[in-house]
Structure formats: structure tokens, C-alpha cells
């Protein structure tokens, strides 16, 4: 089916313009005293933005939920027509898709319509997106939730308000979801900096958004970069170890798919036991029987300096993130 373009709106559904129009009309006539009356915008729909959008849509698609959630309507804005079409196709099977408008190359429209903006563009695009003409006025009394790596809230304010101390009542919150958002299992970290300026209604909606993609943890801003590394970077490090163990299993004669299934289950079990209160070192000792295979393998791992390598990797990643924020 051919796609239609109407003022930056894209859809294979000829009623696409009507969806946006109905949201605009709803915003004009909504009852602000009602609980379910906020509009969320996802600006930038790459992997993370799309995962967050899917989480919001899924939570609003549960039977009897759509009129009892903080977010009533959603808009999503992408940079290109191709990306907008991809987002639309991925979203149309959700029941709540009838309250979603997808368009491209018109961030200002998203800023005007939304109460809560999830900034999920590429970090290098933040200045272009927030510094565009009209954006500062459009952000008045709204909440920006940033999921951008290496971008501080002070930098984002500078981009939007050009150094002015008058941010027009706009609040900024820094967050870092992780890869698990794609399966509603994100461990999101949220900086406490600026929370005091957010209304209870907006904070409730923010918590609901993060809950729709997994779980969240508040952390002080001075350790946000550390928390961001723990949440965002470590899955790749775990997977490096995972892949090395798989190679060993295959070398010893096991099929890779069977080894993957077993190893994934083992990692999940260990993680759940830690979540239940087991200390990692104590748990490791429980598994390591005298003269057993576990302790023999641990000796080899320690000989390779794996523990100190992970320590150094954590420190290096934190420092790199802090340096990114200075640029």
C-alpha cells in the first residue's frame, strides 16, 4: 500500500492526518483535572526510542488500562520519512495505536503537542534539535526526559535556552535505560538532580513510563555516570564473557545453540539469586567445591586478570562518559 505524506505525517493508513488532528483537538479541549490527560512525545526513534515507544503503547493497550494510565496520547517524531514509516509499521498492531501520531522532520510540532518529551535522538543531534527556532517557547512548563549518553542536563538547557537562566518552567531529567528495554526488562537509572522542580503529576507519569520498559532506580547525580555504565555498558561486557565461554564449550564438542540455552539459564539463575540477597562472593564460594571443576576454572580466570580487567573497564568507561560531557 502506498504511503501518504501530509505535512510530515507518514502512514500506510489514509487516516494518518486524522490521528494527529484528533490529538491536537483533544489537547485543546482536555480536562486538566483528570488523571489520564498527558501527551508524551518520543523524539528520535532509534533502538532505544522505539523500545520506549513500544513499552508505552503496550501498557496503554492492556484491556481497561488506556483510560487509567498517566499518558493518554503519544506522538513520535523521526528525522526521515523511512524511519517514520518503520515506526508506524511496528506500532500499528498495538490497540493504543489509534492514539499515536507518527511524523518526521517536525520536532517543533512534537514539542508543542507534548507535556513530556522523551529525548532519544543521537547525542550529537541534541543541539540541533533543542536549539531550533521556536523550541524554547514550545518547552514552557514541560518535562524533558533525556536518554542521551554523555549529555548533561546543563548542556541540554544551554542548547534550548541559549544560556538564559529563564527556562520557562521546563524541567530536565537525565536517565539511562538499557538494552533490556526491547523486552520490557530494562534496568533504567534516573538522576535525582532536578526532581524537586517536577510536579508530582509529571513524576508519576515519568515513573510509569520507565515501569513500562522494566524497572528503574534513582541515583544521585554525582554517581549517575557510574550507574549509567552499570546499566548501559555491562550487558556488552557480560556478552563478551558469554561468547568466550561458548567458544570453549564448542571446542569441547557441544553444539553452540545447546550451549547458549544452558549458559543463558545459568546466568539468569545467578542474577536472580543476587537479586534475592545472595552476595556474589559468597555465592561463588558455594559453587566452588574443593578440587572441583569450578575452582579449577576460576584459577584460570584469575590468572588471566579478568577481575582487574573488568574493574579497569568500568573506570575507563565512567571517565570516558565524563569527558564526553565536557565537550
Averaged confidence pLDDT in the chain: 90
pLDDT of residue 163: 85
- The residue ranges of every structural domain in the chain are 4-219, 227-326
Domain 4-219 of CATH type 3.40.50.720: yes
Question: What tens digit of pLDDT does each residue of 181-193 get?
Answer: 989 999 999 999 9
Question: What tens digit of pLDDT does each residue of 241-293 get?
Answer: 999 999 999 999 999 999 999 999 999 999 999 999 999 999 999 999 999 99
CA distances from 254 to 209, 248, 266 (A): 42, 9, 16
37 confidence band (pLDDT: 50, 70, 90): confident
CA distances from 44 to 75, 90, 171 (A): 11, 15, 19
Q: Are the CB atoms for 193 and 221 separated by under 8 Å?
A: yes
Q: What is the pTM of this model?
A: 0.88
H or E stretch covering 40: strand 38-43
Q: Are the CB atoms for 313 and 235 separated by under 8 Å?
A: no
Cα dihedral 218, 220, 222, 224 in deg (nearest 10):
0
Domain 227-326 of CATH type 3.10.20.30: no
Question: What tens digit of pLDDT does each residue of 102-151 get?
Answer: 989 999 999 999 999 999 999 999 999 999 999 999 999 999 999 998 89
Question: What tens digit of pLDDT does each residue of 284-297 get?
Answer: 999 999 999 999 99
pLDDT of residue 202: 95
- Give the pairing type, strands 171-176 and 116-119: unpaired
- For the beta sheet containing 9-11, the strands, ordered from the edge strand earlier in sequence to the opposite edge, are 4-6, 9-11, 100-104, 71-78, 38-43, 116-119, 143-146, 171-176, 186-191, 214-219
In the numeric block, the cell 518547552 is attached to 139
Q: Picking from 7-21, 96-110, 227-241, which range would have the lowest pLDDT averaged per residue? A: 7-21
Amino acid at each position: 500500500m502506498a504511503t501518504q505524506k501530509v505535512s510530515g505525517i507518514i502512514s500506510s493508513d489514509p487516516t494518518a492526518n486524522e490521528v494527529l488532528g484528533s490529538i491536537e483537538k483533544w489537547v485543546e479541549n482536555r480536562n486538566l483535572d483528570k488523571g489520564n490527560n498527558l501527551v508524551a512525545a518520543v523524539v528520535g526513534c532509534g533502538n532505544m526510542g522505539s523500545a520506549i515507544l513500544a513499552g508505552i503503547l503496550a501498557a496503554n493497550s492492556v484491556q481497561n488500562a488506556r483510560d487509567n494510565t498517566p499518558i493518554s496520547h503519544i506522538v513520535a517524531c523521526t528525522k526521515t520519512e523511512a524511519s517514520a514509516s518503520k515506526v508506524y509499521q511496528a506500532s500499528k498492531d498495538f490497540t493504543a495505536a489509534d492514539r499515536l501520531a507518527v511524523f518526521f522532520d517536525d520536532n517543533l510540532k512534537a514539542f508543542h503537542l507534548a507535556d513530556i518529551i522523551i529525548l532519544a535522538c543521537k547525542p550529537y543531534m541534541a543541539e540541533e534539535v533543542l536549539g531550533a527556532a521556536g523550541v524554547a517557547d514550545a518547552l514552557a512548563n514541560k518535562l524533558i526526559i533525556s536518554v542521551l549518553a554523555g549529555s548533561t542536563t546543563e548542556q541540554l538547557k544551554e542548547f534550548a535556552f541559549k544560556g538564559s537562566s529563564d527556562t520557562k518552567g521546563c524541567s530536565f531529567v537525565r536517565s539511562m535505560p538499557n538494552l533490556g528495554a526491547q523486552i520490557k526488562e530494562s534496568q533504567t537509572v534516573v538522576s535525582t538532580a532536578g526532581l524537586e522542580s517536577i510536579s508530582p503529576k509529571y513524576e508519576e507519569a515519568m515513573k510509569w513510563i520507565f515501569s513500562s520498559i522494566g524497572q528503574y532506580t534513582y541515583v544521585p547525580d554525582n554517581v549517575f555516570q557510574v550507574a549509567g555504565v552499570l546499566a548501559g555498558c555491562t550487558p556488552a561486557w557480560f556478552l563478551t564473557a558469554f561468547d568466550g565461554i561458548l567458544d570453549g564449550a564448542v571446542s569441547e564438542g557441544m553444539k553452540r545453540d545447546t550451549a547458549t540455552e544452558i549458559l543463558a539459564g545459568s546466568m539468569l539463575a545467578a542474577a536472580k539469586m543476587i537479586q534475592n540477597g545472595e552476595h556474589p562472593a559468597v555465592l561463588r564460594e558455594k559453587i566452588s567445591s574443593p578440587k572441583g571443576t569450578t575452582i579449577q576454572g576460576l584459577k584460570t580466570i584469575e590468572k588471566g586478570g579478568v577481575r582487574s580487567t573488568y574493574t579497569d573497564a568500568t573506570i575507563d568507561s565512567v571517565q570516558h562518559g565524563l569527558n564526553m560531557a565536557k565537550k
